[in-house]
Homo-oligomer: A and B are copies of this chain.
Amino acid sequence: MAAEETSDGSPSETSEPSETSETSDEAPDRGPRERMVFSAAQLIRRGGVAATGMRDVAVHAQAPRGSLQHYFPGGKEQLVNEAVGWAGRYAGNRVARFLAALPEPTPAGLFAEMVRQWTDEYESTGFAAGCPVAAATVDCAESTASTRQAVAAAFTAWTGPVARALAGMGVPHERTEPLATLMISSLEGAILIARAEEDVRALTTVARELAPLLDAAVTVSRGPAGELPAKGAD
Protein backbone atom coordinates (compact mmCIF):
# COMPACT_ATOMS: atom_id res chain seq x y z
CA MET A 1 0.00 0.00 0.00
CA ALA A 2 3.02 2.22 0.14
CA ALA A 3 5.52 1.17 -2.46
CA GLU A 4 6.14 1.12 -6.20
CA GLU A 5 6.19 4.61 -7.59
CA THR A 6 7.42 6.44 -4.56
CA SER A 7 10.26 7.63 -6.70
CA ASP A 8 9.05 11.17 -6.21
CA GLY A 9 10.15 11.13 -2.63
CA SER A 10 12.96 13.51 -3.25
CA PRO A 11 12.99 15.60 -0.13
CA SER A 12 14.41 18.52 -1.98
CA GLU A 13 12.06 20.97 -3.60
CA THR A 14 8.36 20.90 -4.12
CA SER A 15 8.87 18.71 -7.14
CA GLU A 16 5.59 17.21 -8.17
CA PRO A 17 5.60 13.82 -9.86
CA SER A 18 5.73 15.54 -13.23
CA GLU A 19 2.08 15.05 -14.11
CA THR A 20 0.39 17.73 -12.06
CA SER A 21 -3.00 17.76 -13.67
CA GLU A 22 -3.73 14.18 -12.80
CA THR A 23 -6.82 13.06 -11.02
CA SER A 24 -5.86 14.46 -7.66
CA ASP A 25 -9.08 13.10 -6.31
CA GLU A 26 -10.70 12.82 -2.97
CA ALA A 27 -8.13 10.86 -1.02
CA PRO A 28 -4.93 10.36 -2.96
CA ASP A 29 -2.93 7.65 -1.19
CA ARG A 30 -0.29 7.68 -3.85
CA GLY A 31 2.28 7.40 -1.13
CA PRO A 32 2.94 8.54 2.38
CA ARG A 33 4.16 11.91 1.26
CA GLU A 34 1.01 12.85 -0.60
CA ARG A 35 -1.07 11.40 2.19
CA MET A 36 0.59 13.76 4.62
CA VAL A 37 -0.02 16.77 2.42
CA PHE A 38 -3.62 15.75 2.03
CA SER A 39 -4.03 15.16 5.74
CA ALA A 40 -2.50 18.53 6.49
CA ALA A 41 -5.05 20.19 4.24
CA GLN A 42 -7.85 18.28 5.91
CA LEU A 43 -6.77 19.27 9.39
CA ILE A 44 -6.15 22.88 8.41
CA ARG A 45 -9.64 22.94 7.00
CA ARG A 46 -11.02 22.14 10.42
CA GLY A 47 -9.06 24.03 13.01
CA GLY A 48 -6.77 26.35 11.14
CA VAL A 49 -3.04 26.22 10.68
CA ALA A 50 -1.98 26.94 14.24
CA ALA A 51 -4.25 24.27 15.67
CA THR A 52 -2.85 21.67 13.29
CA GLY A 53 0.13 19.95 14.86
CA MET A 54 2.74 18.02 12.98
CA ARG A 55 2.08 15.00 15.16
CA ASP A 56 -1.60 15.22 14.32
CA VAL A 57 -0.80 15.22 10.63
CA ALA A 58 1.31 12.10 10.97
CA VAL A 59 -1.43 10.31 12.89
CA HIS A 60 -4.15 11.36 10.46
CA ALA A 61 -2.07 10.26 7.50
CA GLN A 62 -1.16 7.02 9.22
CA ALA A 63 2.39 7.93 8.43
CA PRO A 64 5.38 7.67 10.70
CA ARG A 65 6.29 10.84 12.47
CA GLY A 66 9.87 10.56 11.38
CA SER A 67 8.84 10.82 7.77
CA LEU A 68 7.71 14.38 8.29
CA GLN A 69 11.28 15.42 8.87
CA HIS A 70 12.36 13.39 5.90
CA TYR A 71 9.87 14.57 3.32
CA PHE A 72 9.46 18.10 4.58
CA PRO A 73 12.84 19.37 5.68
CA GLY A 74 11.39 22.85 5.47
CA GLY A 75 9.26 22.00 8.46
CA LYS A 76 5.70 22.96 9.03
CA GLU A 77 5.94 25.92 6.73
CA GLN A 78 6.73 23.71 3.77
CA LEU A 79 4.01 21.25 4.65
CA VAL A 80 1.41 23.98 4.97
CA ASN A 81 2.48 25.55 1.71
CA GLU A 82 2.17 22.27 -0.12
CA ALA A 83 -1.20 21.61 1.45
CA VAL A 84 -2.39 25.00 0.25
CA GLY A 85 -1.00 24.34 -3.19
CA TRP A 86 -2.73 21.00 -3.33
CA ALA A 87 -6.02 22.60 -2.33
CA GLY A 88 -5.71 25.22 -5.04
CA ARG A 89 -4.98 22.63 -7.70
CA TYR A 90 -7.79 20.48 -6.43
CA ALA A 91 -10.28 23.33 -6.66
CA GLY A 92 -9.07 24.21 -10.13
CA ASN A 93 -9.33 20.66 -11.35
CA ARG A 94 -12.86 20.28 -10.12
CA VAL A 95 -14.04 23.02 -12.44
CA ALA A 96 -13.59 20.79 -15.44
CA ARG A 97 -15.57 18.04 -13.75
CA PHE A 98 -18.33 20.45 -12.88
CA LEU A 99 -18.55 21.45 -16.50
CA ALA A 100 -18.75 17.85 -17.58
CA ALA A 101 -21.58 17.27 -15.15
CA LEU A 102 -23.67 20.10 -16.55
CA PRO A 103 -26.09 19.16 -19.32
CA GLU A 104 -25.75 22.63 -20.73
CA PRO A 105 -22.93 24.79 -19.42
CA THR A 106 -23.99 28.15 -18.07
CA PRO A 107 -22.20 30.44 -15.63
CA ALA A 108 -24.95 30.11 -13.07
CA GLY A 109 -24.91 26.37 -13.49
CA LEU A 110 -21.20 26.23 -12.86
CA PHE A 111 -21.53 28.37 -9.79
CA ALA A 112 -24.38 26.24 -8.54
CA GLU A 113 -22.17 23.18 -8.84
CA MET A 114 -19.35 24.89 -6.98
CA VAL A 115 -21.74 25.79 -4.21
CA ARG A 116 -23.37 22.39 -4.20
CA GLN A 117 -20.09 20.74 -3.38
CA TRP A 118 -20.21 22.58 -0.07
CA THR A 119 -23.87 22.22 0.71
CA ASP A 120 -23.58 18.50 0.03
CA GLU A 121 -20.68 18.17 2.42
CA TYR A 122 -22.29 20.27 5.10
CA GLU A 123 -25.59 18.46 4.93
CA SER A 124 -24.01 15.04 4.97
CA THR A 125 -20.98 15.34 7.23
CA GLY A 126 -21.60 18.53 9.16
CA PHE A 127 -20.03 21.94 9.35
CA ALA A 128 -16.71 20.94 10.80
CA ALA A 129 -14.51 22.06 7.94
CA GLY A 130 -14.03 25.11 5.77
CA CYS A 131 -11.68 26.06 3.01
CA PRO A 132 -8.03 25.37 3.79
CA VAL A 133 -6.90 28.26 1.63
CA ALA A 134 -9.02 30.67 3.62
CA ALA A 135 -7.68 29.21 6.85
CA ALA A 136 -4.10 29.63 5.71
CA THR A 137 -4.82 33.20 4.69
CA VAL A 138 -6.23 34.10 8.07
CA ASP A 139 -3.48 32.40 10.03
CA CYS A 140 -0.39 33.05 7.94
CA ALA A 141 -0.92 35.98 5.61
CA GLU A 142 0.85 38.37 7.89
CA SER A 143 3.29 36.09 9.64
CA THR A 144 4.61 33.80 6.91
CA ALA A 145 5.48 35.32 3.57
CA SER A 146 5.92 32.05 1.72
CA THR A 147 2.51 30.82 2.81
CA ARG A 148 0.93 34.06 1.76
CA GLN A 149 2.41 33.52 -1.69
CA ALA A 150 1.21 29.93 -1.72
CA VAL A 151 -2.27 31.14 -0.92
CA ALA A 152 -2.16 33.71 -3.68
CA ALA A 153 -1.03 31.02 -6.10
CA ALA A 154 -3.85 28.77 -4.93
CA PHE A 155 -6.41 31.45 -5.63
CA THR A 156 -4.90 31.93 -9.06
CA ALA A 157 -5.00 28.20 -9.72
CA TRP A 158 -8.66 28.31 -8.85
CA THR A 159 -9.67 31.53 -10.58
CA GLY A 160 -7.96 30.60 -13.84
CA PRO A 161 -10.04 27.54 -14.69
CA VAL A 162 -13.22 29.29 -13.64
CA ALA A 163 -12.45 32.26 -15.86
CA ARG A 164 -11.60 30.00 -18.79
CA ALA A 165 -14.82 28.10 -18.25
CA LEU A 166 -16.75 31.36 -18.38
CA ALA A 167 -14.97 32.28 -21.57
CA GLY A 168 -16.03 28.96 -23.01
CA MET A 169 -19.61 29.81 -22.22
CA GLY A 170 -19.60 33.03 -24.13
CA VAL A 171 -18.64 35.53 -21.47
CA PRO A 172 -16.58 38.31 -23.02
CA HIS A 173 -12.91 38.15 -22.16
CA GLU A 174 -12.72 41.33 -20.17
CA ARG A 175 -15.31 40.03 -17.71
CA THR A 176 -14.23 36.45 -17.20
CA GLU A 177 -11.69 37.20 -14.55
CA PRO A 178 -13.76 39.72 -12.63
CA LEU A 179 -16.70 37.37 -12.57
CA ALA A 180 -14.53 34.47 -11.51
CA THR A 181 -13.22 36.59 -8.68
CA LEU A 182 -16.74 37.50 -7.70
CA MET A 183 -17.82 33.88 -7.71
CA ILE A 184 -14.94 32.73 -5.56
CA SER A 185 -15.24 35.68 -3.21
CA SER A 186 -18.92 35.04 -2.66
CA LEU A 187 -18.32 31.35 -2.19
CA GLU A 188 -15.56 31.85 0.35
CA GLY A 189 -17.58 34.35 2.32
CA ALA A 190 -20.66 32.17 2.24
CA ILE A 191 -18.61 29.25 3.52
CA LEU A 192 -17.61 31.33 6.51
CA ILE A 193 -21.18 32.34 7.26
CA ALA A 194 -22.47 28.83 6.74
CA ARG A 195 -19.99 27.42 9.22
CA ALA A 196 -20.82 30.12 11.74
CA GLU A 197 -24.54 29.59 11.44
CA GLU A 198 -24.29 25.86 10.88
CA ASP A 199 -26.74 26.41 8.07
CA VAL A 200 -26.30 26.30 4.33
CA ARG A 201 -28.57 29.30 3.92
CA ALA A 202 -25.77 31.68 2.97
CA LEU A 203 -24.47 29.27 0.36
CA THR A 204 -27.79 28.70 -1.34
CA THR A 205 -28.50 32.41 -1.12
CA VAL A 206 -25.42 33.55 -2.96
CA ALA A 207 -25.97 30.90 -5.61
CA ARG A 208 -29.53 32.05 -6.18
CA GLU A 209 -28.87 35.78 -6.06
CA LEU A 210 -25.81 35.70 -8.25
CA ALA A 211 -27.34 33.48 -10.92
CA PRO A 212 -29.04 36.12 -13.07
CA LEU A 213 -26.00 38.38 -13.03
CA LEU A 214 -23.76 35.54 -14.10
CA ASP A 215 -25.96 34.33 -16.91
CA ALA A 216 -26.54 37.87 -18.10
CA ALA A 217 -22.83 38.14 -18.78
CA VAL A 218 -23.11 35.66 -21.63
CA THR A 219 -23.20 37.85 -24.70
CA VAL A 220 -21.91 35.54 -27.41
CA SER A 221 -24.60 33.18 -28.55
CA ARG A 222 -23.64 29.58 -28.85
CA GLY A 223 -24.47 27.18 -31.59
CA PRO A 224 -26.89 24.31 -31.08
CA ALA A 225 -24.10 21.97 -30.00
CA GLY A 226 -22.83 24.47 -27.48
CA GLU A 227 -19.72 25.43 -29.36
CA LEU A 228 -18.46 28.95 -29.53
CA PRO A 229 -17.45 30.96 -32.53
CA ALA A 230 -13.66 30.89 -32.62
CA LYS A 231 -11.81 34.01 -31.65
CA GLY A 232 -11.49 36.19 -34.71
CA ALA A 233 -13.30 33.71 -36.91
CA ASP A 234 -16.81 34.19 -38.08
Residues of A within 8 A of B (CB): 46-51, 127-130, 133-135, 137-139, 141-143, 148, 151-152, 154-155, 175, 178-179, 181-182, 184-190, 192-193, 195-198, 201-202, 205-206, 208-210, 212-213
Contacts and interface: CB of A to CB of B under 8 A. Distances in A.
Q: How many copies does the complex hold?
A: 2
A94 to B, nearest CB: 17
Contacts of A139: 47-48, 50-51, 135, 138-139
A142 B155 contact: no
Contacts of A208: 178
A17 to B, nearest CB: 26
A234 B179 CA distance: 40
Contacts of A138: 48, 130, 134-135, 138-139, 192
Main secondary structure of the interface of A (DSSP, over half): helix
A97 B137 CA distance: 29
A80 B189 CA distance: 21
A70 to B, nearest CB: 27
A204 B182 CA distance: 10
Contacts of A155: 193, 196-197
A196 B139 CA distance: 11
Given A175-B209, A178-B205, A182-B206, 9 more contacts: A135-B138, A135-B139, A137-B195, A154-B196, A155-B197, A182-B210, A184-B193, A185-B186, A187-B189
Contacts of A210: 182, 213
18 contacts: A48-B138, A48-B139, A130-B138, A133-B192, A134-B192, A148-B195, A148-B198, A155-B197, A178-B208, A182-B205, A184-B189, A185-B186, A185-B188, A186-B186, A186-B189, A188-B192, A188-B193, A189-B190
A190 B134 CA distance: 11
A116 to B, nearest CB: 16
Given A128-B142, A138-B130, A185 B196 contact: no
A213 B216 CA distance: 10
A143 B182 CA distance: 30
Contacts of A151: 196
Contacts of A209: 175, 178-179, 181-182, 213
